[in-house]
Amino acid sequence: MSLLMEVIGVPDMIVQQMSPGAFKFFDNKGWPFIMDNIKGEWKVPNSKPLDYLLESDDEHFIDFVWKCLCWNPH
């Protein structure tokens, strides 16, 4: 969850409420807990651009992956 939030940001409260494990990642106001990885690097929402991570400048490919990653509770 924290890795996904690094790329696409924090999910809406509706998505959080539908997740039984949301308490592990969000406080009661919907703010994410800032976590660190095994290397001690902080996981910050919206901190990693998708095109950088994909190492691609193909707009169609980036758009496709972005749509695959969108928050969708259904």
- Is pTM beyond 0.85? Reply is no
Is pLDDT above 80 for 35? no
pLDDT-derived band at 62, boundaries 50, 70, 90: very high
pLDDT-derived band at 19, boundaries 50, 70, 90: confident
Q: State the virtual CA torsion across 2, 20, 29, 69 in degrees, nearest 10.
A: 40
- Mean pLDDT over the full length of the chain: 87
C-alpha–C-alpha distance, residues 32 and 11, integer Å: 9
Three-state SS string over the chain comes to CHHHHHHHCCCCHHHHHHCCCHHHCECCCCCECCEECCCCCEECCCCCCHHHHHCCCCHHHHHHHHHHHCCCCC
Looking at residues 30-57, what average pLDDT do you find?
86
